[in-house]
Chains A and B, each alone.
Chain A
Amino acid sequence: MRQWIIAGVLAALCVAGTAWLALSPRPTPPPPLRVLLIPADGGTESGTLADYRPIFDAVARRTGLSFDLKVAQSYGGVVEAMCNNAADIAFVGSVTYLQAQKRGCAELLAVAVKSGRSVYYSGLFVRGDSPVRSIDDLRGKRIAFGDVNSTSAFIFPVAMLLDAGIDPVRDLSAVRMTGTHANSLAALINGQVDAAALSFDSYDKAVRANVPRARDLRVIARSEPIPYPPLAANMRLAPALRSRLRDAFEKIDRTPGITPEMIRGYGGARVDGYVGHVPADHFFPATRKMAQVTPALKGEMLRKSAERAVR
């Protein structure tokens, strides 16, 4: 009998606890806007938060809104989060943004500007002692690429090869999908591949971190200017709210409490500020490259990357 009473009391406590958790009054202010940040080119959760928290704090001071910053790990996951209404604002790569925009989930909110421009570059790198001098010499060679959804480590470099008349599936002896810029660089330095597709920023980062032999690498081809990864807003946010946010981001460099060092953009690099109104053709190059690198080609390259190394 005693056990039954104890069991009953425990069960009642569980039910009461669950009810209390589920029914406790919600805080009255509107819920914070959910922000998803992606550490482009790699980075830690705390580092990425440190890059963006000052900016969002400034926007919060200006607008009275509040933000809940979270760090995501995959480009694909961010697109899904935007389209499943699990995020209100996201910092994503240009291609990721275009994917979300194409699905009708996202709209441009703001993009960083540095010295009047909002672009960065990626390139094809080889070792210093490599006989490869130009992109044409890459025929029959092994190349490392990063994440399949990465603008600078995959889409633009693959398009560069296509533009040079090199079919990345047929004309390369091996394709390595390493997942990150850092892995591609390591594969190149250690001789697992003959060339690697990296953003200039991630290469600079490696040299700054004194990665052995990173200084000896050479660029054989540079991409077209790549649009900076933008901040995107979920289309489900009210239009008035979106324009209020856009306005606050544009005035970020004139917000009290903000020093120039606190305004950061892609890869944590210092930028001058943000603009919310970019010309319609700003993302045109990215759209064109994205169309060039078709899903079928991606699938073929993924398949090729699963093949054994040619020795």
Chain B
Amino acid sequence: MNGALAWRFPALLGARAVALLAVALLLLWYTGQRVEIDRMLALCGEAVLAQAGMADRSQVADGLGSTLAELVPIQLSSRREVSRIEGYDPDHLPPFAHIETAETRVSELNPDTLRREERMVRTAWLVEPFGYAFHVAAKMLETLEIALWGSVIAVLIGLPLALLGARNVTPHPALRAGSRAASGFLRAIPELIAALFLVIAFGFGPIAGVLALGLHSAGFLGKFYADDIEDADPRPQQALAAMGAGRLTIWGSAIMPQVLPQHIACTLYTFDRNVRMGSVIGLVGAGGIGQELKGRFDLYEYGHVGTILIAIFFVILTLDFAASRARQAWR
């Protein structure tokens, strides 16, 4: 029995740790002032109090509340002005569609009097009950496709970069440094900024989006793959090396089988991330749902925005579910 073996708790707070903690706290306090954490807390507290009826007015609650409240009810149907539909045929409406005639008050600011003038306008609308939901679904599909191809490009560029950047695969330090720098460079350009440049080069549309996502995520796959490869258990590699195997053979037979689960996890996360970023790059015209999202926001159609946000949430949830199933199946 080893019961008498002396052991002690590791000293949690040595003098050095206390000093480090003090420096960290000072840094947080200083930077916190600069980014107005104090004001953030005050505004948040005010908002909570206002919700509880204990403060009469909160800028945050008003600003956020008025917009968020309008996200619901979400918009599922699409409405198009009948008079604007080319080749409109009242006898052959799309399935489940119907015509709605509505009197709407149109308000216009008169440039001469600077007063608002209102008049009634009668408009016939073609209403498709799930038209907008289908439109969002189609745009989400495009977002997924952009994310998928962005991820494919990321793997195609990231894996060679990782092999060149890993110490146990690439012996030459200059080559390694070059490859690490290349990954870092790709990672350093956010996809939104890359997309800004790429829409100028490739035109507005999904090509710019695919490349923007692909290049940026190639940068971080190049790093994560390389780190995984370097962390692999060296013993099988040494055994193969002793038998005279080449570096690529060692990678294929001794490293790859070990790091494959990490590689797959990284790749799946990249895809997940690309789906989320794919719904943003539309802001600069690089395809996907982002353009629709920004457009509806600019048109003050918050119900439509609500539909889109829920659609993105469902897609992310589904992907998460599928990824966890895939990981279980792999084990």
A121 to B291, CA, bound (A): 26
B233 near A: Cβ within 8 Å?
Answer: no
Instruction: Tell whether A180 pairs with B298 under 8 Å between CB atoms, given A44-B291, A191-B59, A204-B109.
Output: yes
Q: Which residues of A contact B251 (CB under 8 A)?
A: none
A180 to B293, CA, bound (A): 14
Q: Which of B284-326 contact A (CB under 8 A)?
A: 284-285, 291-292, 294-301
Q: Which residues of B contact A44 (CB under 8 A)?
A: 291-292, 295-296, 299
A42 to B111, CA, bound (A): 21
Distance from B230 Cβ to chain A, minimum over Cβ atoms (Å): 27
Q: Which of B157-209 contact A (CB under 8 A)?
A: 196, 199-201, 203-205
A86 near B: Cβ within 8 Å?
Answer: yes
Residue of B nearest to A54 (CB): B86
Selecting from B18-26, B76-84, B147-155, B214-222, the interface stretch reads B76-84
A205 pairs with B109, CB closer than 8 A: no
A6 to B139, CA, bound (A): 37
B109 pairs with A200, CB closer than 8 A: yes
Q: Which residues of B contact A86 (CB under 8 A)?
A: 200, 203
B59 pairs with A74, CB closer than 8 A: no
Q: What class of interface size applies to chain A in its complex with B?
A: 35 or more
Instruction: Tell whether A203 pairs with B109 under 8 Å between CB atoms, given A41-B298, A42-B299.
Output: yes
B231 near A: Cβ within 8 Å?
Answer: no
Q: Which residues of B contact A46 (CB under 8 A)?
A: 135, 292
Q: Which residues of A contact B301 (CB under 8 A)?
A: 209
Instruction: Tell whether A259 pairs with B292 under 8 Å between CB atoms, given A39-B298, A208-B106, A209-B301.
Output: no
**Mask of A51-63 contacts with B, CB within 8 angstroms, 1/0:** 0011001000000
Q: Is the interface of A mostly helix, strand, loop or mixed?
A: mixed
Selecting from B7-15, B61-69, B90-98, B239-247, the interface stretch reads B61-69
B41 near A: Cβ within 8 Å?
Answer: no
B: number of interface residues (CB 8 Å): 42
Q: Which residues of B contact A140 (CB under 8 A)?
A: none
Q: 12 A-B residue contacts at CB 8 Å?
A: A42-B295, A42-B299, A70-B204, A77-B196, A80-B200, A182-B297, A186-B63, A186-B67, A191-B59, A205-B299, A257-B86, A261-B81
Sample of 20 more A-B contacts, CB < 8 Å, known A50-B80, A50-B84, A81-B203: A42-B294, A42-B298, A43-B299, A47-B299, A73-B282, A74-B285, A77-B199, A77-B200, A81-B204, A84-B200, A87-B203, A123-B109, A181-B298, A182-B297, A182-B300, A204-B108, A208-B104, A222-B114, A262-B86, A308-B36
Residues of B at under 8 Å CB distance from A? 36, 59, 62-63, 66-67, 80-81, 83-84, 86-87, 104, 106-109, 111, 114, 116, 135, 196, 199-201, 203-205, 282-285, 291-292, 294-301
Residues of A at under 8 Å CB distance from B? 34, 36, 39, 41-48, 50, 53-54, 57, 70-74, 77, 80-81, 84, 86-87, 121, 123, 180-182, 186, 189-192, 200, 203-209, 211-212, 215, 219, 222, 257, 259, 261-262, 264, 308
